[in-house]
Amino acid sequence: MNKTIIVSNRLPLQVIIHQNTLKIIPSVGGLATGMKSVHAEGNGIWVGWSGIPEEELSTELSEKVAKEIRKEKCVSVPLTLDDVEEYYEGFSNKALWPLFHYFMEYTGFEEHEWEAYKRVNQKFAEIVLENIDDGDTVWVHDYQLLLLPQLIKDKKPNITIGFFLHIPFPSYEIFRTFPWRKEILSGMLGADLIGFHTYDYERHFLSSVKRILRLDAHFNQISYHDRLIKVDSFPMGIDYDKFYNAALEHSSNSKEKSELYRRLHEHISEDKKLILSIDRMDYTKGIPNRIKAFEYFLHKFPEYKEKVRLVMLAVPSRSNVTQYKKLKRETDELVGRINGKFATVSWTPIWYFYRSMPFDKLIDLYISSDVALITPLRDGMNLVAKEYVATRINNDGVLILSEMAGASLEMNEALIINPNSFEDFANNLKRALTMPLKDQKSRMKFLQKRLKRYNVEKWAKEFLKSLEETNELKSNIITKKLLGEYENNLVNDFNKKKKKLLLLDYDGTLIGFKDNPQDAEPDDELYNILDKLQEKEDTSLVLVSGRDKETFKKWFGHKQYTLITDHGVWLYQNNEWTALERPKTDWMQSIKPILETFVDRTPGTFIETKKYSLAWHYRMTDPELAKIRTIELNTVLTSMVANNDLSILKGNKVIEIKSSNVNKGRAVSRYLMQQDYDFITVIGDDWTDEYMFEEAPDWAYTIKVGFTKTKAMYQIKDPEQVRQLLNKLI
């Protein structure tokens, strides 16, 4: 039976060694707590790190750990102390985490940490590959493993891979500062489906892919080599029933109350309220900011002194990383200062716990608090906010939530605040404390309804369903016309036939695109291939290009191949140039100034002036701006071209204007009249080559380079594969 392999840096369980004995505790953090219920149900396995560096385990303990982990359907990836320091604390948590959360000032880029990141992602890949069977699905999680999807895809191209990022994806302006931005994006693109919590993260990612890798994305699909990759948002939910039922049980009269519950309730009455915050101790959670805002609140509304208490649980996290140490110190000091400033004999404004708590105590905190104050400065989702709502079995209580948390987009009925505004903070805290019960209930009911419906199980199912659908996408759109298995027929045919013709486009077909068209001159390998084809008996080789005569003369004038240039204006055969068409060029005077205005307004674009045509290249400009400008230009030109017998050709990141009665198809059909051929292969990559495909006889092999819509019979990935094919004909 096929299985799903979950892969994340941290396993849902953590191993702790105390006096040579093992203790297994659940991991904290949204990823582990959320995916745990998904993992518990399926027949899959979870690959990740146990939380202990290898050096701290004796052989005997190591075996014990592996055994304990296996019991939980997990497989551990052994990390050394160096790995932990450089890959986990280093690259993951000193570079990626702060940058993706917009804390640029905390971000450090260290080459050796990047090397460790690559090395450890490779380690994960090896363990996944050891455990994978054909037909399995792999679901990779989070920022520690951004390179993993491609590492797996390289080795197992047919395995379906999903990737989900649990933290924000920052805007392009932030992401572009990353020295290894291309490698990171390419690593992620090994997945067939890439998921984010919100549409904003999704659009930031797409924007980076378009700008940095210069790939095309249509709606939420990216074409990448011979693959289509789907990108979508799936806001993660919680195990609603687990929290709701636990709250029911903890509130029931028959249940013996815990010490914590009793102590909390000593301080709750009609006019004495508890305000709760729970976070990992992380600078993204805005803990010092919250404390200061609470101080501001007590100043602004002094009547709440001795009436409210902030219960603040901060779970230790990444405590070896400098910024986290500083944060801990700052928090300790702030709590001390404010408690010192406001406390009375019977009242302390902040109860602060710096520790991890078991689930039962977490529930007691949730059900005992009148207000939850969840105010991160930046947070991918924030599950604590959702957990608080799920435990409000009587529909009372108020959630104050930062608009910087992904969760705020789906929790409109909470009091949404900007955590940077103390005014907003204090006013909403007052509003929460005075909110009529009726109002609390109606808001809570709305919130609960959504969380119950879109719970973590549903979230995972939707993701996996969407991942499965990518398989259809693969077979429908791409592989339908893939040359692959037909390649042998073509080669056999070629070897058998006696009058053979090869019509080959140049740019994007025989050579990849360069930023500047003049840089795309033929290399030795290409000359060699073309020479050998030319020398073959019974074979005519024709290069058919939109390039101008002068350029081709320079590049191929000393060769014997036939050339058709300027989209079909000139024919070079037997050392002689013949004009196939005599197009007018007087229109250029009026069109060129228009193109110039577009160049002025669109940085990165330029005009290529050819003898019979004008081309506006926009490969190097911002992709979104290019989209707007190409529509604009098209509109402006449409009215002009009709009157001048011109046509507009949309090539690969270029718009070309030329005389209507010139195109590659016309030139090819004339050429075909010279002789009868019994074998024809036409290869081209863009719109202008479609004319050739149309003119070729039905039995010809017409091959499109790339995977966009075409009239050609077959498709092939890129110029490199074209060269491989031509080599087979030699």
Distance CA 701, CA 612 (A): 30
Tell me, by CB under 6 A, how many residues bind ligand G6P. 10
Burial 364-384 (b: 16+ CB within 10 A, else e): bbbbbbbbbbbbbbbbbbbbb
Span from 25-33, 55-63, 413-421, 568-576 in contact with ligand G6P (CB under 6 A): 25-33
> Is residue 692 within 8 Å of 704, Cβ to Cβ?
no
Residue from the set 4, 7, 10, 511 that interacts with ligand G6P by CB under 6 A = 10
Q: Does 696 bind ligand G6P (CB under 6 A)?
A: no
Q: Cβ closer to ligand ADP: 364 or 686?
A: 364
DSSP string, 138-196: EEEESGGGTTHHHHHHHH-TTSEEEEE--SPPPPHHHHTT-TTHHHHHHHHTTSSEEEE
Residue from the set 213, 268, 315, 672 that interacts with ligand ADP by CB under 6 A = 315
Q: Does 166 bind ligand G6P (CB under 6 A)?
A: yes
Which residue number has the CB closest to ligand G6P? 29
C-alpha pair distances (Å), 32 with each of 286, 354, 383, 460:
22, 20, 11, 13
Q: Cβ closer to ligand ADP: 6 or 313?
A: 313
315 binds, among ligand ADP, ligand G6P, none (CB under 5 to 8 A by kind): ligand ADP
Annotate each residue in 549-568 with x if it binds ligand G6P (CB under 6 A) or - if it does not, as one string.
--------------------
Q: Amino acid identity of 126?
A: E
Q: Does 362 bind ligand ADP (CB under 6 A)?
A: yes
Collapsing DSSP states into helix, strand and coil, what is residue 311?
A: strand
597 Cβ contact partners less than 8 Å away, ≥ 6 residues apart: none
Q: Amino acid identity of 300?
A: K
Q: Which residue has the tokens 């920052």?
A: 170
Distance CA 25, CA 15 (A): 6
Per residue, what are the HEC states of 207-245?
HHHHHHCCCCEECCEEEECCEEEEEEECCCCCCHHHHHH
Closest CA to 641 of 568, 590, 583: 590
Closest CA to 263 of 372, 180, 353: 353
CB of 451 to ligand ADP, least distance (A): 13
Q: Does 387 bind ligand ADP (CB under 6 A)?
A: yes
C-alpha pair distances (Å), 275 with each of 303, 339, 351, 361, 390:
16, 15, 10, 16, 17
Distance CA 670, CA 691 (A): 13
> Is residue 712 within 8 Å of 481, Cβ to Cβ?
yes
362 binds, among ligand ADP, ligand G6P, none (CB under 5 to 8 A by kind): ligand ADP
Q: Cβ closer to ligand G6P: 365 or 384?
A: 384
CB of 148 to ligand G6P, least distance (A): 13
> Is residue 168 within 8 Å of 378, Cβ to Cβ?
yes
Annotate each residue in 26-55 with x if it binds ligand ADP (CB under 6 A) or - if it does not, as one string.
--xxx--x----------------------
CB of 269 to ligand ADP, least distance (A): 26
CB of 304 to ligand ADP, least distance (A): 26
Span from 190-198, 382-390, 468-476, 478-486 in contact with ligand ADP (CB under 6 A): 382-390
Q: Does 351 bind ligand ADP (CB under 6 A)?
A: no
Q: Cβ closer to ligand G6P: 30 or 376?
A: 30
372 binds, among ligand ADP, ligand G6P, none (CB under 5 to 8 A by kind): none
Q: Cβ closer to ligand G6P: 30 or 235?
A: 30
392 binds, among ligand G6P, ligand ADP, none (CB under 5 to 8 A by kind): none
* Sign, CA torsion 296/297/298/303: positive
Burial (CB < 10 A; 0-12, 13-18, 19+), residue 320, is exposed
Which residue number has the CB closest to ligand ADP? 30
Span from 41-49, 381-389, 473-481, 685-693 in contact with ligand ADP (CB under 6 A): 381-389
Q: Cβ closer to ligand G6P: 108 or 157?
A: 108
Residue from the set 6, 11, 13, 31 that interacts with ligand G6P by CB under 6 A = 31
Active site residue 505: yes
> Is residue 9 within 8 Å of 88, Cβ to Cβ?
yes
Catalytic residue among 505, 507, 566, 689: 505
Which chain residues interact with ligand G6P by CB under 6 A? 10, 29-32, 142, 166-167, 317-318
Which chain residues interact with ligand ADP by CB under 6 A? 28-30, 33, 278, 280, 313, 315, 356-357, 362, 381-384, 387
Residues taking part in catalysis: 505
